């Protein structure tokens, strides 16, 4: 399945100091990220409160930051304000980018085949490139013109895996001649959202915000390096690590009620105490799946939501993934 990534924000970071600079302002180890690889990271303030979240891609001539939703002007302002003497430039490419997600290995191969067939370039993506890209999650590649065409072409592809399902995210210039096949967008969006929730991949200002600290996502293994040295927000994150727990955490929940009915509803314990709110929801064959930031001291208690005046049980579909 192929899904247009209408909410993808794409920032381009250039300059010889770019890796060190990004390293100092996000939670993952960017200085050790080799070209052709990507990592997931949070961008935080000094109190470790979340400003942005997404993937950082390392390419030969630049780094890119890919985010789903969130506050792009806010993170641009945050990152640019600290540039003093560093050789770094950070600019948005969102308005000039068209992006798509291919869900599953077969769709990913078909997408790369479409790129080869319609780009009018001399094999911009060959079989070995496709195989190596899809072999390991968080691999990435810049696809550029190699035949001296008058119209430059530069696209970027990144392979990742959500809930053990491989995906390929592909970003290209809006004015390029690459034709992406169209499919059932509604079905693809539903599958994409279900995978996102099972993966517990948050959208900033929807599932998490400046009111949350990065470890509350409990994606620590994927997003936080505890050996990289100093960075903005490091001290509060280190203190939380020393404590061994957070007081609230992002959880994937399931319900027999439809997604439209649980979205935005409060999640309650037996005594009807509110412990969180459903911030994302998608329909499934058996009801719905969603995300909610829940108090950790209530994880083992029976949970429910009120739908049309009736109590509907909430089940935890996924535990820690960190």
> Which residue, among 292, 294, 215, 239, has the nearest Cα to 42 in the 3D structure?
215
pLDDT on residue 123: 47
Task: Based on the fold, state whether residues 17 and 71 are members of the same structural domain.
Answer: yes
Boundary residue ending a domain (46, 65, 92): 92
Q: What is the CATH number of the domain that holds 311?
A: 2.40.30.110
Boundary residue ending a domain (151, 181, 211): 181
Task: Based on the fold, state whether residues 53 and 103 are members of the same structural domain.
Answer: no
**Is 59 strand, coil or helix?**
coil
Give residue-wise pLDDT tens across range 103-115.
998 888 888 777 7
For the beta sheet containing 154-162, the strands, ordered from the edge strand earlier in sequence to the opposite edge, are 2-4, 97-103, 165-173, 154-162, 139-144
Q: Which of 161-165, 207-211, 224-228, 241-245 has the lowest mean pLDDT?
A: 241-245
- How far is Cα of residue 144 from the mean position of the Cα atoms in its chain? 24
Which two structure tokens, joined as six digits, stand for 208? 């998490």
Tell me the CA distances in angstroms from 222 to 54, 94, 181, 228, 311, one per residue in order: 11, 25, 32, 14, 36
pLDDT on residue 245: 81
pLDDT on residue 131: 65
Boundary residue ending a domain (128, 160, 181): 181
The reply to whether 227 falls in a domain is no
pLDDT on residue 73: 96
Q: Which domain holds residue 177?
A: 97-181
State how many domains the chain has. Answer: 3
The reply to whether 219 falls in a domain is no
Q: What is the CATH number of the domain that holds 83?
A: 3.30.70.1400
Task: Based on the fold, state whether residues 255 and 319 are members of the same structural domain.
Answer: yes
Give residue-wise pLDDT tens across range 6-27.
999 999 999 999 999 999 999 9
Confidence at 64, pLDDT banded by 50, 70, 90: very high
Task: Based on the fold, state whether residues 10 and 88 are members of the same structural domain.
Answer: yes
What percent of the chain is modeled with pLDDT above 90?
63
pLDDT on residue 119: 60
The reply to whether 81 falls in a domain is yes
pLDDT on residue 193: 96
pLDDT on residue 151: 47
Q: What are the φ/ψ torsions at residue 265 (nearest 5 degrees)?
A: -85, 155
CA distance 216 to 130: 35
Task: Based on the fold, state whether residues 161 and 124 are members of the same structural domain.
Answer: yes
Residue 273, pLDDT above cutoff 90: no
Task: Based on the fold, state whether residues 80 and 7 are members of the same structural domain.
Answer: yes
Q: Could you tell me which residue, 199 or 297, shows the higher pLDDT?
A: 199
Task: Based on the fold, state whether residues 55 and 122 are members of the same structural domain.
Answer: no
The reply to whether 253 falls in a domain is yes
Residue 77, pLDDT above cutoff 50: yes
The reply to whether 234 falls in a domain is no
Compute the mean pLDDT over every residue in the chain, rounded to the nearest whole number.
87
Q: Which of 80-84, 123-127, 222-226, 245-249 has the lowest mean pLDDT?
A: 123-127
Task: Based on the fold, state whether residues 136 and 86 are members of the same structural domain.
Answer: no
Residue 57, pLDDT above cutoff 80: yes
CA distance 143 to 75: 27
Task: Based on the fold, state whether residues 294 and 271 are members of the same structural domain.
Answer: yes
Strands of the chain, DSSP E? 2-4, 8-14, 38-44, 50-58, 63-68, 89-92, 97-103, 139-144, 154-162, 165-173, 248-255, 266-268, 274-284, 287-295, 303-307, 310-318
- Cβ atoms of 275 and 242 within 8 Å: the answer is no
Q: Crossing angle, helix 105-118 and helix 127-135, to 10 degrees?
A: 150
The reply to whether 278 falls in a domain is yes
């Amino acid at each position: 399945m192929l899904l247009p990534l209408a909410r993808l924000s794409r920032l381009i970071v250039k300059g010889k100091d770019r890796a060190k600079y990004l390293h100092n302002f996000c939670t993952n180890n960017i200085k050790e990220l080799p070209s052709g690889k990507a990592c997931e990271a949070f961008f935080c303030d000094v109190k470790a409160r979340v400003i942005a979240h997404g993937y950082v891609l390392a390419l030969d001539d630049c780094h890119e930051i890919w985010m789903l939703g969130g506050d792009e002007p806010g993170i641009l302002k945050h990152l640019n304000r600290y540039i003093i003497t560093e050789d770094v430039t950070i600019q948005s490419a969102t308005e000039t980018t068209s992006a798509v997600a291919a869900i599953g290995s077969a769709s990913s191969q078909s997408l790369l085949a479409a790129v080869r067939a319609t780009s009018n370039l001399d094999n911009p993506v060959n079989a070995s490139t496709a195989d190596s890209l899809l072999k390991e999650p968080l691999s990435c590649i810049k696809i550029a013109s190699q035949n001296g065409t008058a119209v430059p072409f530069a696209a970027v592809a990144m392979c990742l895996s959500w809930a053990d399902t491989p995906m390929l995210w592909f970003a290209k210039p809006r004015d390029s001649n690459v034709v992406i096949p169209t499919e059932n967008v509604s079905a693809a969006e539903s599958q994409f959202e279900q995978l996102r929730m099972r993966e517990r991949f948050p959208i900033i200002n929807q599932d998490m915000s400046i009111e949350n600290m990065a470890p509350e996502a409990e994606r620590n293994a994927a997003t936080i390096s505890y050996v990289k040295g100093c960075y903005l927000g490091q001290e509060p994150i280190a203190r939380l690590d020393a404590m061994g727990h957070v007081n609230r955490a992002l959880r994937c929940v399931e319900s027999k009620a439809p997604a439209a009915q649980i979205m935005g509803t409060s999640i309650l314990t037996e005594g009807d105490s509110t412990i969180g709110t459903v911030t994302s929801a998608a329909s499934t064959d058996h009801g719905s799946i969603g995300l909610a930031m829940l108090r950790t001291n209530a994880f083992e208690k029976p949970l429910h939501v009120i739908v049309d005046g009736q109590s509907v049980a909430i089940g935890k579909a996924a535990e820690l993934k960190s």
